[in-house]
């Protein structure tokens, strides 16, 4: 069965880069939500991602708020934060994500991180 990754990212360039990079992984389906609301709608409709890639600076509800909401919902998916915020990885980890990658990153770094969580 295909594994589902939910990408929450408002920057179309960054979303495209991640989507192209992930074509390297087999048996993975990627869903793209442009903001927190779209992401929550997809989850409400029954989407069950193994992994959520989450940008922090989003229009409307921020990625940090969404992360909190997902934890409240007891979402089982692992969450990797991808952000260009002026913040350290240690601080990000405190927010309750499973892993974090600071922009700019190489697509390969992302793939290596993702692989760990899809096994």
Angle at 92 between CA 86 and CA 95, to 5 degrees: 130
* 100 touches 83 (CB < 8 A): yes
Closest CB to another protein among 13 and 76? 13
Answer whether the bond into residue 20 is a cis peptide, omega within 30°. no
The Cα 32–Cα 16 span in angstroms is 10
Q: Which of residues 42-101 bind another protein (CB under 8 A)?
A: 57, 84-86
Note whether 103 binds another protein by CB under 8 A. Answer: yes
Out of 108, 112, 115, 118, which residue is the one contacting another protein (CB under 8 A)?
108
Q: Are 73 and 47 in contact (CB under 8 A)?
A: no
Under rule CB under 8 A, residue 28 binds another protein: no
CB of 73 to another protein, least distance (A): 28
Which residue among 3, 61, 102, 117 contacts another protein (CB under 8 A)? 102
Q: Which stretch binds another protein (CB under 8 A): 6-14, 38-46, 65-73, 91-99?
A: 6-14
CA distances from 12 to 16, 33, 50, 66, 96 (A): 6, 10, 22, 19, 26
Residues that bind another protein (CB under 8 A): 11-14, 16-18, 20-21, 23-24, 57, 84-86, 102-108
């Amino acid at each position: 069965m295909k594994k589902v990754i939910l990408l929450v990212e408002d920057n179309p360039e960054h979303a495209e880069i991640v989507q192209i990079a992930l074509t390297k992984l087999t048996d993975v389906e990627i869903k793209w939500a442009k903001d927190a609301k779209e992401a929550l709608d997809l989850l409400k409709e029954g989407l069950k991602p193994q992994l959520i890639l989450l940008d922090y600076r989003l229009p409307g509800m921020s990625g940090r708020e969404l992360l909190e909401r997902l934890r409240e919902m007891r979402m089982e998916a692992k969450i990797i934060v991808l952000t260009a915020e002026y913040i350290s990885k240690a601080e990000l980890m405190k927010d309750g994500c499973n892993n974090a990658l600071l922009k700019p990153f190489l697509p390969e770094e992302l793939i290596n991180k993702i692989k760990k969580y899809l096994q």
